[in-house]
Structure 1
Amino acid sequence: MGSAVGLCSSPRAWGCDWNIARLLCFAAISWVLMTQMEVGAWTYHYGDKSDYSWEVARNFCRSFYTDLVAIQNQREIAYLNSVLPHHRTYYWIGIRKINNVWTWVGTSKALTKEAENWASREPNNKGRNQDCVEMYIKRDNDAGRWNDERCQKKKRALCYQASCQSSSCSQRGDCVETIGNYTCDCYPGFYGLECEHAVKCPALAAPGRGGLNCTHWHGDFTYNSSCAFSCETGFVRNGSETLECTALGQWTGLPPLCEAIKCPMLDSLSRGQLNCSHWHGDFMYNSTCSFSCETGFVRIGSETLECTALGQWTGSPPLCEALKCPVLATPGRGQLNCTNWHGDFTYNSTCAFSCETGFVRNGSETLECTALGQWTGHPPHCEAVKCPVLDSPDRGQLNCTHRHGDFTYNSTCAFSCETGFVRNGSETLECTALGQWTGHPPRCEAVKCPVLDSPDRGQLNCTHRHGDFTYNSTCAFSCEMGFVRNGSETLECTALGQWTGHPPRCEAVKCPVLDSPDRGQLNCTHRHGDFTYNSTCAFSCETGFVRNGSETLECTALGQWTEHPPRCEAVKCPVLDSPGRGQLKCTHWHGDFTYNSTCAFSCETGFVRNGSEMLECTALGQWSDHPPLCEVMRCPKLRGLEPILMNCSHPLGSFSYGSVCRFRCTQGYFLNGTSRVRCQPDAHWSDKMPTCQEEAAPYFKQVLLYMGGGAVALVALLLTGMLIALLIKRLSDKEEEKTLLNPTSDLGVTGVFTNATFDSNL
């Protein structure tokens, strides 16, 4: 309570405005004594009177305790849920969204996925401003779980008070919170209640012929102490340069030794002796060795060598060599052949000299090395053979390479000529071993171009500066009237012996090339070349085609034809129409009703073609025949004589296709045959013409007079059969007559019987 009262005297310390501070101070003073709990690592504190926003709740916890509570484990959550009283607004804890990351504010560490303890369907972050976290206590469901809320809402503060301080455990271990206190978990290498002691390693001493330099961080030869070893000059360390005391109280290796440095072993000299003194062992640091040679030989190198601290001798071992004469060199352009007994150019060596081809010796041929180290004479030299001096040619240059002196053996001289001139003779001469050149000096002559002729139908006019058709000659070309030049007007002879272009030609003026017209021929006469000035071309057309345009064209001096080329067009025949009661089908090869067009004619059913089936348009513009007609088919004429009565319908003409004739008999006769015939498309009637027969009753009466009563029964039976047959026939005829009289018959035409009546009694 004292700390709360103290804060009321300076409300700005809470990080809020004056009115909020007054409310916080009043709430802090008026609270019932805070209920205190202990569990695990620290103590918890909560109030039971007032609710605060998250910021104010945190300022309160940081003012009186350490901070808002940070949940460590599930056991801690279970404990808090068991001891804290239920409150309708629940409790703020120390988690807040910072830069869109849920963060423990006490440690500024992000909340890990493993440590999350959200209630179901949380966090939902409604309105994107639920940045603070509350903890459910004694809730019916999700007890001990978290929920994100708006930071301005009012809830109870849940604080903790830590036991560990920054100076705990001597800063040599981790401070572990316990109930109301802490323990120290010391880092490797330290021990004690406050980790105040460091682990020790055995003390070290400097090696013989060496030194020791140590650095102690936590006391002599303790954890993390490091010791560096060194050796005196001429001695080398055998072992690690530096050892370090580990957390186990052991050095990282064994102490090294200092051993004398060794130099390479020396051998006695050929033709000499070796004498050595050793202070630290054979051929060790500070050993000395002296050398001497036999009579007649001299020492080449130091007389005495010493082994240095670097393990190297102060020089290379000397050699014992025979006395030498000055080295002889092979003369330039010569050879040297020597015989050596004790080494090259030593006592008693002899050397013979000779010269290459083209060179002669100047001096002694043989020299010998004497006991005084001198030759019996001076070495000779070889001199090159000389050729006569050469001069530059007229209109040319001379460029010589002298290898052994001016105009001597192997000298080469190259000759060149000025631009537009060519060399007549060898390009290069060489001085031979006999003192003569390989040929005579050349001359420079003007370059020649090929001789030009006047072009056909043209003239040539040339100017020559250095001779006919030579370098710098110019030639101009012109053509006769009516011809044009094809090529350059002027050519010049270049330094390469070529004209600046090809000689031009005089060509007749050209007209556009003509092609044979389609379905025609072209016949031309060319006087000066195809389709050129004065060419004439005649046009003709194939059979069945006629020319549309001029027959002959001529190429004028302007390169134009006198007319446009004609065309060959197909001959036309008169246009054909389909015949009445028929069809027309044509094939046109060169246009409608033109040459080679073919037209086929056909007629409708019941009509026959009168004329050719196929017509063709000829080359004369006429059809191969007169167009045919479609005429109706006709059946043979029928004649009806009494007692037969006939009535016919002729829709397309007398007895023609579609005509129908109906028959009947006069009274006292019956019809024997069909009652109706029709003219068919093949010009035949559909049936034979019927006949009329007399009725049978009178005939049978006469028969009965001669026959007895015994025949009556037979006659009656025959009559009955005949009457039935006639009745069936009469009924059939009546049905056929109904069909003929029906207006929906085949041709739609009906006939009416005249001068006849139908008898209903048989």
Structure 2
Amino acid sequence: MHSDEGVTKTFTCARPLIGQHVFLQLVGVEGSLSLCEVEVFTTEEFSNDRCAPASAPADIELAAFSRNCYEFNVAKGGSFEEARKQCQNHGGDLIHGFQVVPPTCGSPDKLLNTTIEGKDYRVGASIDYRCPQGHMLAGTKSRACLKDGFWSGVAPSCKYVDCGGISPIQDGEVSLVDGRTTHGARALYSCKENYTLVGEAARECGDQGTWGGEAPKCLFDWCPEPPPVTGGMVSVSGRTAGSLATYTCQNGFILFGSPSVTCTLGGSWAGTPPSCKYVDCGTPAIVHKGSFRLLNGTTTYGSVVQFTCEPDYWLAGSEELTCNRDGKWSHDMPSCELITCADPEVPAGGYMEAFDYNVHSTIDFHCERGHKLVGEASLMCEIRCPDPVVPENSIVSVTGNDRMHGRTLIRTSGTTHSGSTYRIGALVKYRCERGYKVVGESLSTCEDNGQWGGMTPKCQCVHLAASMHDMAIPDGLFSHLNYGSPRLRAYTLYCNFSFRIIPDVDCEITCPDPSIQIKGSVGLLVATSTLSIGGEAHYRCERGYSIKGNQTRTCLKKGQWNGAPPVCIPIDCKSPGTIDNGRIIIANSSTHFGSSIEYHCLPQFTRVGPFLRKCADDGHWSGEEPSCELATNEAAESGTLPLSVGVGCGVVLFLLMLLGVIYLRL
């Protein structure tokens, strides 16, 4: 306003000037306005003498306007109530018995360097103050036009803040955004190749003229070759920070300790490398009447030894032993025992002669006087095989047996054991019911040791395909009947057409695909080994979720999964609470996994601890909780020293001058 001195200005008042005595209040920057003259015009003017109140002072300034008297007082600005009281003391009032609601608050005041955003000065509106770049706003940013016609609060000010230059970091660089160091400026840090930044990558010039946070560090992130291990091998996923070096042991060695170490910032492998211990179970003991064979030619860890017996001896114990990690074989050493027959039953009225009951031995039966022998007079102890195992859905037939025990046997999985025995060389043949096929060897022979050779096969379900010819078949020519397995249907085609089997029901009972059941379930994943009976479905959650419920379900015989599918619950770190002398900003208003929170301290307080914390997998906020500590005013303390020195020097100089004056007078 100083540059407009002498120019007439028109101001918009917050309310009409109604009353006999008017108090004019101008709000603005102190000293920026010189009110020299107020002109009042009226067409119905009458003498000012009629407006003078009793005992009015001589220097009173009066005016008449529209048959109303006005008294002008120039004083320091005050409130509406103070203006009204001034008028009432002089026998008048601001109003004549009715309330006037101001429509606006008039022009708002502002201080140096501030800029007002908004031109709506009506009641209920608000304005904002803005500072130029490099300045800090001190005070309230926004003000509102109240119902009484006054702006709320006081006008803020703008303070120039400069944080000064920022120090570089070792093995890294720092750059200033926009090339300035004043309030709100940002400094960005970066590291050289093979170095990783640890700490905050950006710092900001704060209200106190200092750079926020702490300077980060650049740590070397390239690791050398991992340490070697005797008897072991190592493979690395990389050489940068976060890479893994995984150890494995050579044949015959066992790994002790953690199998991997991690490349960390600073260029070193974290963790202790494992060790590989040589394990040898030693040569197995010689078995009487038997022998062994090392299947892989060694006796170290993982080696397998197989035992066999001489003819007429059977193996008591495990046929195969494995070398364990403790340097011992997995089972006790077997033994070869001479095959013997059970004690024979002596018929009544007779007796028996035998030397022993060993294999190939013979026993003779005799009758006492008056009795006649019926049956074989001599029996020999022979090696025979027991009833063969009958798999489910199979048909087993045995051929080549002697007449005495039945030359041929046909059994299914539904029949009971016959208790028969079979001579060496007897042959068992495995077949399967309709809809199934043999998996494994279909033939097995009774061996010299009294055991069926090989492994017992299984019957596996197969999917039969319809064998239909390319022909048009009239409706109603098929007749349904049950045939064979209850899971299959057979159809007879009349009119001289051939007979076919067309299955319409799958012979194998399976459970539904569990991935279909969990459609719509957020974060839930499932993997299945098989959908057949006994198969397992393994559930897990995506990162950021915790699983609740059964993690494994099994396919039951009725074709249903046991239990119910689990659910995935989002990991929630909950509200971090509050921080004394500061505030916490929750990014995106989320406290779930991966979200972050920022810590800000009030002016004159410094943050001790991290600026940013994130919600981790364990449901807790990462790092330690920071605190806002009162900042030490080192600059103020250091500034008192020059002041003290200056005052001391001034006192000494004054004393010297005083002594000089005294000396001259003497």
- Range class of TM-score, shorter chain: under 0.3
Whichever of the two has the greater Rg, that structure is: 1
Q: TM-score, normalised by structure 2?
A: 0.25
